[in-house]
Structure 1
Amino acid sequence: MKYKRLAAAVLAAALWLTGCGGAAAPAAPAGSGAASQSAADTAVQTAQKDRITEQFTLEKTIQLYEWGSAQKLTIHVPQLVCDSPDAAYLNDELAAMYAADFRQYEDSPEIEPQQDEWSPEIYINWDAYWYGDCVSLVVFRYDGGTDPGYSRGWCFDFATGKQVSVAEMLQRMGLDPDAVQQQMLREAMQTFDRHMAQGGYYEGLRSGGNLASMRMNTLENNQLDDLCLLLPEQNRLVLRGGCSSPAGSGWRQLDVEIPLQAADPQPQTVLTDTYGSASVQLEGTQGTITLRRTPETAAWDTDYGIRLEQDHTYPILGIYNEYIDLCIGELGASFHPVVYLLTRDGVVEYVDVLHCLMFGSALVCQDPIYIANQGVALERSGREVNLRREDGSVLELAPLTAEWNAQELPYEVTGAFNDMGDDQFDWMDVESNGSVQMGVQDNNVFYQGYADYLGVVPEGMVLGVWTNETVDGMPGITFVAAMKYDLYNETLTLTMINGQNPFAEGKTQLQLTRCPDN
């Protein structure tokens, strides 16, 4: 129904429709200034309008059931006027998603709602945003109630008759898709964390790993191919995604503006701290933790089986916010360093260094402690770290850290999974309390151990796995992997972060299939 475009100075010359390509539009009448520009704009708009029409339109109020209330339907479904296979496929997809359920009401009688009667509405409409011969088609659907509705987008190039990806569109605009992707993930996660800290969080969310699932969904559903590309006005690019929410449908829309012109690089604030044998440095979202081999870290070999041969620097994985302060403290009796990070929104995040090292050499930032909020500074008090808040109060972080570490594993990564590729049978069984069993090397080697949730990265929820020595005397194994569950195909993709893949030596990624419940 609606058409949005970049100004003619940014657009390529408009084409009159001939199949998917066509001849260039005739020159605008001679003139100068606004009149000439207006004529050119009109030609562009006319050419664009002819390329997208509506394949289904329905606007009426009906009675769905004999004793039901009135239901208002406002349905507008677009179609591409192009004879290419990609256009036909996209038109069929639009029809199946937005028109099929409502064709049965085309012949339904129109009714007048009774006075003061509230009529729920189903609303479907669309916008077209043009960049040269390419269009970003965005369809919005609202099904009534308190949920805000949702959008879905497609990009199509009329010059070639091909559907194009959001990444390709960004490249045509002179942008780096990888950089835009990282910005989108950061904005989405910051928005989610901010909402949780401002009242969205409640204690039950950590039960069953729900909080981890919500953070993972926020990352997973803001990949470029899942976003809508909007060009609301000249030199403005907006990517529409969303983030998880504990209310309503569980999802809230998020629009992120992406500069079309590269801004001058701004100097990043560098945050550092040193405590005992540990030091941390954070610049933007790039952070590292350095551990020195000293008597206190050498003692880890005896106490925990963690051997630090020499000084080592580790990158911090899973940090997405902007930070204003950091501080290293301890947890427990022995040297147990924890790096605390304070976000610009006043929320505390942390990296439990010793906890992560028990599973390998990957340091992952845990979920934020959302109830440790409204902070202005981190302060070390003896061996532990406290949060100073806006109201002047002080919050001890060590007890909250221990509590936050004790999370159940998310549902998506628990259960029985198997791999029957390469003519062998391997399996893994993970329980919500962290108990793990694995049969590997064609079920000839059996491991038992423990898994713990460490945080989220774009590749999935990060689990650290530790196993005992086998009954045959083989040493136990440790590894860290990101796990992402595909609900529709019931598969679990395992991406190795650290350690050896126990199911397929040398492979960094493996797909396991969920076993049916008995």
Structure 2
Amino acid sequence: MKHKRLAAAVLAAALWLTGCGGAAAPAAPAGSGAASQSTADTAVQTAQKDRITEQFTLEKTIQLYEWGSAQKLTVHVPQLVCDGPDAAYLNDELAAMYAADFRQYEDSPEIEPQQDEWSPEIYINWDAYWYGDCVSLVVFRYDGGTDPGYSRGWCFDFATGKQVSVAEMLQRMGLDPDEAQLAVYRAAIQTLDRNMVQQEYYDFLRESGMLSGMRADTLRDNGLENLTVLLENENTVTLVGGYHTTAGSGWRPLKVELPLTPAAPAKTPVLTDTYGSVSVLLDGDTRTVTIKRTPETIAWAEEYDIRLDGDVTLPIRNAYNNYVDVCIGGLGASFHPVVYLLTEDGFVEYVDVLRCLLYGQILLCADPIYIANNGTALALRDAEVSLLCADGTETELAPLTAEWNSPQEVDSTGNFTLGEGENLCWLDLNSGGGCQLATHNNRYFYQGAVTYLGATPNGTALGFSLIRDTENGPEWVAFSAALKLDYSIDYLIFTPLSGQNPLTNETVPLVLTHSYG
């Protein structure tokens, strides 16, 4: 077990931490010098150690099963020495997660492994990272094998006796939680993409819906409150998240370092392009597409029922990579603009503007087009965009875009219900993209199809195109929503994004129950 403390300037006035809700120590008298500072630091470290002790410790080598080999157990489970319900709840949670499975081995006899016998190890230990009265308590667990192990953290304020969120912990350090969240999302998605571009069976992952699920799950699992906070030096804070992969357990940890002192913004090139009535701007964190109301976009009303009241500028909602080039081209015979984004790693993301607008005024990046021979630039050839590759070849992107846009399996499948009685609604999704939806206890029944649009932190973004029969003829509705299955509670989290959603006029997430009837 270890104790770590942030020696930042903000902590120069040492706190005499005597217990939960303890008062700060008086300032050292003027002229007391380094000796007084050293004494104060020692007192702080001693008090910090007294505030976190171990509730369960087990270090021995045992034989788990009569026929099994030796198993080494190294288990250290911490506890907060603090009165109050938050500390008690956290201590109970730590005990249930890390100690409960090993108490039965406290009285097991210790054995000596046979010579040259491989002994698998279960290793659980903890660190405490201090920032004033606040601590980030981190527990690490490794269960052997090739997977690297994983950590989980809790933030706690001894001054108030309350557990605090990661967002609040970052705010106390002077960091913007939203900026920290964006930095982690970008690092995680970029790392996932670098890993996936090397997979030979990428097409299977895409067509089966596994890739979209991996991207959405990576964003979900890197939500701010799922991250672990480390204070490993006085200049940075490290947030530990991860990314999904096809190897091992399917998860690999990832560290993202953020400076505690504001750094000058990185100079990135401003990228722009225009194609007909559509233009794109990439300028730092600003990533937008502007669509002007012209005869070619007015024609969308008759062809696709897309109506623009005027010029609109929409953000690209899930563009998390770093880009070195951008180019807009067409897809098909009519005015069908697609924005292509070349990442610094040489693969292509794209925003199918027309396809996204079919489901409301929202723009989403589709999954990247991974090309093993890294691209170096984008070029417009007639009305279509090509990728210039490192070996001097060109790859036409329009055929690949059409292929990537083709129907794929949906991962959030099943039947789900919301409400009861006259307010009963239900949604049925099948893996092939078919969809049925009913509201007001089946008085309004819709059916049609869904289309995958992209991965978001709220889940897999789908475009819904549904029709219901009325006395006046068919009524068509189109909307987009992000869907996320929570397997722990067997619920579907349904987050409306844009368009005419029959389930709700609000943008707050809906919680639908998985139905097996």
Shared fold by TM > 0.5? yes
In 2, distance between residues paired with 1:452 and 1:8? 50
Preserved contact between residue 61 and residue 71 of structure 2 (Cα < 8 Å): yes
Tell me by how many angstroms 1:10 deviates.
Answer: 3.1
Structure 2 SS opposite 1:10: helix
Cα deviation code 1:263-301 (max 9, x no counterpart): 234554221111223221221242222233444334433
Are 2:287 and 1:305 equivalent residues in the alignment?
no
Are 2:458 and 1:462 equivalent residues in the alignment?
no
Preserved contact between residue 437 and residue 447 of structure 1 (Cα < 8 Å): yes
In structure 2, the residue matched to 1:339 is 339
Tell me by how many angstroms 1:427 deviates.
Answer: 1.1
Question: How many residue pairs end up in the alignment?
Answer: 515
Structure 2 counterpart of 1:72, which letter? K
Cα deviation code 1:378-418 (max 9, x no counterpart): 11112221111222222221222112112424322x21111
Report 1:93-108 matches (<5 A). 93-108=93-108
Structure 2 counterpart of 1:15, which letter? W
Cα deviation code 1:400-442 (max 9, x no counterpart): 2112112424322x21111125852111111222111111233
1:62–1:261 Cα change, 3 Å: same
In 1, distance between residues paired with 2:208 and 2:267? 41
Structure 2 SS opposite 1:475: strand
Structure 2 SS opposite 1:476: strand
In 2, distance between residues paired with 1:348 and 1:264? 28
TM-score, normalized by length of structure 2? 0.94
1:415–1:44 Cα change, 3 Å: same
Q: Percent identity?
A: 62
RMSD (CA atoms): 2.3
Tell me by how many angstroms 1:477 deviates.
Answer: 0.8
In structure 1, the residue matched to 2:370 is 370
Cα deviation code 1:62-109 (max 9, x no counterpart): 111111111111111111111222111111111110011001111111
Preserved contact between residue 409 and residue 452 of structure 1 (Cα < 8 Å): no
In 2, distance between residues paired with 1:113 and 1:207? 48
1:25–1:114 Cα change, 3 Å: farther
In 2, distance between residues paired with 1:273 and 1:30? 63
Structure 2 counterpart of 1:107, which letter? D
Comparing 307-316 with 135-144, greater Cα deviation is found at: 307-316
In 2, distance between residues paired with 1:229 and 1:31? 34
Preserved contact between residue 197 and residue 373 of structure 1 (Cα < 8 Å): no
In 2, distance between residues paired with 1:373 and 1:320? 21
Comparing 138-147 with 275-284, greater Cα deviation is found at: 275-284
Preserved contact between residue 348 and residue 373 of structure 1 (Cα < 8 Å): no
In structure 2, the residue matched to 1:17 is 18
Preserved contact between residue 496 and residue 506 of structure 2 (Cα < 8 Å): no
Preserved contact between residue 285 and residue 322 of structure 1 (Cα < 8 Å): no
Structure 1 SS opposite 2:209: helix
Report 1:217-236 matches (<5 A). 217-236=217-236
Structure 1 counterpart of 2:155, which letter? C
Tell me by how many angstroms 1:327 deviates.
Answer: 0.6
Preserved contact between residue 20 and residue 160 of structure 2 (Cα < 8 Å): no
In structure 1, the residue matched to 2:148 is 148
Report 1:264-283 matches (<5 A). 264-283=264-283
Preserved contact between residue 453 and residue 461 of structure 1 (Cα < 8 Å): yes
Tell me by how many angstroms 1:491 deviates.
Answer: 1.6
1:373–1:88 Cα change, 3 Å: farther
In structure 2, the residue matched to 1:427 is 426
Structure 2 counterpart of 1:102, which letter? F
Tell me by how many angstroms 1:15 deviates.
Answer: 2.2
1:401–1:91 Cα change, 3 Å: same
Tell me by how many angstroms 1:160 deviates.
Answer: 1.4
Structure 2, unmatched stretches of 5+, are none
Comparing 304-313 with 330-339, greater Cα deviation is found at: 304-313
TM-score, normalized by length of structure 1? 0.94
1:289–1:32 Cα change, 3 Å: closer
In 1, distance between residues paired with 2:212 and 2:444? 31
In 1, distance between residues paired with 2:188 and 2:110? 43
In 1, distance between residues paired with 2:337 and 2:77? 57
In 1, distance between residues paired with 2:418 and 2:392? 55
Report 1:70-219 matches (<5 A). 70-199=70-199, 202-219=202-219
Cα deviation code 1:159-203 (max 9, x no counterpart): 111111111111111122122112221221122122212448622
Structure 2 counterpart of 1:14, which letter? L
Structure 1 counterpart of 2:423, which letter? Q
In 1, distance between residues paired with 2:168 and 2:484? 26
In 1, distance between residues paired with 2:201 and 2:427? 32
Tell me by how many angstroms 1:496 deviates.
Answer: 1.8
